[in-house]
Amino acid sequence: MSEPRLRAKELDAADGLAAQRAEFLLDEGGGGSGGEAVYLDGNSLGALPAAVPGRVEDVVRRQWGELRIRSWTEEGWWTAPERIGDRIAPLVGAAAGQIVVGDSTSVNVFKAVVGAVRLARSADTAAGAAGPARDEIVVDATTFPTDGYIAESAARMTGCTLRPVPPSGIPDALGDRTAAVLLNHVDYRTGRLHDLPALTAAVHAAGAYVVWDLCHSAGALPVGLDEHGVDLAVGCTYKYLNGGPGAPAYLYVRAELQDRFDSPLPGWNSHAEPFGMRPEYAPAPGALRGRVGTPDILSMLALEAALDVWDGGVTIEAVRAKSLALTDFFLECVEAYVPEGRVECLTPGPHGERGSQIALRCPDAGDVMKRLIERGVVGDFRHPDVLRFGFTPLYVGFADVERAARVLAEVLAEVLAEPGT
């Protein structure tokens, strides 16, 4: 047995989170011609937690099928958005009462960015600021495209100019015209982890408000929203939180800002008297202001069941430690198996700059990933030349990592040996 395989066995034997793997339904024998399946695409869609199918069946057959409308009160459907938000809160370093679950990430980005602009302007008005109006939204120039689209629309709606800036240039780009800054915690292409504490402090020093997109960090590493004074944050729940395809996203509004948060999407669900059916809008107190319309109960309660995997003492700190160990070991295995120069790692080496994925560049990445998937090693491809491998510590083991690197080396050798390559 090769040295990396022996090392994988040792690491798996010492893994304090190894038992969590049983909490998921994994295709252990679905690896095609190469053995067991290795699922390294949890940064796109998390695996299915074992508790979800039975819970969803109960929601459909009993709660909807038998209790019907009584379930809004008897089964807690009405309070699900804030109840589930409170379960997510510890995973992102937030106290209860600051997160509401519902809508998509894109919709929540829109609420948060427009809300941040309004917060900045209302703060200046309250302080009697004599300087120029805050009319600029700064956005991470490397952001996921949708965030950029939403920020541009929010800028039009609020009469702001949109200014794309790389995260490293954010502190120097801020000024007295900056109203809101939208940033990704982890770069979706490269897995680079940006410095949330320092960037948040820089935004605040300029008198602006920050919105963080946590899609690629929540459930994989500590975030510290409360500790670092983050204003607003959004995130999806179908990646490292394993909520399922299309699972509802969430919106965080810091407690101190909730009474001034002015959502651009006021709906009956966020009204102070939702069943009063009044023509005039009056916002509900607290995080409830982030609600809009009727909650997506089926997907929301599937997410609630998925969050059970965090019960029983699993901490985000332990998950982060294993995430770093998995990504370190993957890079070691790639170095051991793949000829030098065949791939280029785009993910930073220092732990403080790395999320929970590894991005490798190679010229034939699309074909390589297709062949990897055929052999049961599932990652994903990002145009034009990036292989992405996501490491979800709750169900990925070190033997998975070793096998993925070994099969990658085999596929790369095949592709290189083919005529015309």
Cβ atoms of 14 and 21 closer than 8 Å: no
Q: Is residue 16 a contact partner of residue 386, using CB atoms and an 8 Å limit?
A: no
Question: CA-CA distance, 169 to 58, in Å (whole number)?
Answer: 50
Q: Which of 238, 330, 391, 395 is catalytic?
A: 238
Please confirm, yes or no, whether 213 is among the known catalytic residues.
yes
* Residue 100: both structure tokens together: 């509401």
Bridge partners, 100 (sequence order) = 251
The Cα 206–Cα 198 span in angstroms is 13
Catalytic residue among 213, 231, 296, 400: 213
The residue from 111, 177, 322, 388 that is catalytic is: 388
Beta strands in 76-172 (DSSP E): 99-101, 136-140, 161-165
Identify the active-site residue in 239, 254, 354, 371.
239
74-78, long-range: CB within 8 Å, 24+ apart, which pairs? 77/295, 77/297, 77/301, 78/295
Please say whether the beta carbons of 71 and 84 come within 8 A: no
Q: Which of 24, 39, 110, 144 is catalytic?
A: 144
- Number of alpha carbons in the 13 Å side-chain half-sphere of residue 210: 27
Q: How far apart are the first and last CA of the chain?
A: 31
CA atoms of 388 and 187, how far apart (whole Å): 12
Q: Is 239 a catalytic site residue?
A: yes
- Residue 133, amino acid: A
Least Cα distance to 247 among 209, 218, 276 occurs for 218
144 is annotated as an active-site residue:
yes
Q: Which residues are part of the catalytic machinery? A: 144, 213, 238-239, 388
